[in-house]
Amino acid sequence: MRDPQPSPARDEEEGPLLDDDAGRLIRPYTVSNGRTRPTAHFDLMTLVMATGTRPQSYLGPDHAQVLGLCGGPVSVAELASRTRLPAVVTKVLLSDLADCGAITTRAPAPVPLGPDPTDRQLLEAVLDGLRRRL
């Protein structure tokens, strides 16, 4: 029989809102109060970083978790993965944090392209890898 209480180590890793068998105990859109549209524009590759400014009012445990993950530049996609929330819910949480000045955002730095931006060998290697996986 499985112990219904999560272990302290597991609790620290994933937070109290996750269960081994059931998964997340709170529906994702409950976290965002049913909102599906962020007030700010975020791309999945947008880099987010905490400013050090704490929100004036308490926003909730998921906001605190996301803010805690923003110590260094981190992408929206990575935050969604780490919190196990849909990207749109993560974007709503981030827009709340941006609105109160707790985070700052920037687009990822463009990668400088070499003399031939369409390197045929690279494209063929990617295609070959995709064919092997499928």
CATH of residue 38's domain is 1.10.10
Residue 123 domain-assigned?
A: no
Residue 127 domain-assigned?
A: no
pTM: 0.60
Total number of domains constituting the chain: 1
For residue range 97-113, list pLDDT tens digits in order: 998 999 999 988 777 76
Domain that holds residue 87: 8-111
Cα–Cα distance, 10 to 82 (Å, whole number): 14
Q: Which amino acid is at 71?
A: G
Q: For residues 50 and 67, is the Cβ–Cβ distance under 8 A?
A: yes
Does residue 57 register a pLDDT over 60?
yes
Share the mean pLDDT of the chain.
77
Cα–Cα distance, 70 to 46 (Å, whole number): 12
Sequence-distant (6+) residues with CB within 8 A of 24 are 17, 18, 84
Residue 129 domain-assigned?
A: no
Cα–Cα distance, 58 to 74 (Å, whole number): 23
Residue 77 domain-assigned?
A: yes
Residue 51 domain-assigned?
A: yes
More confident residue, 107 or 117: 107
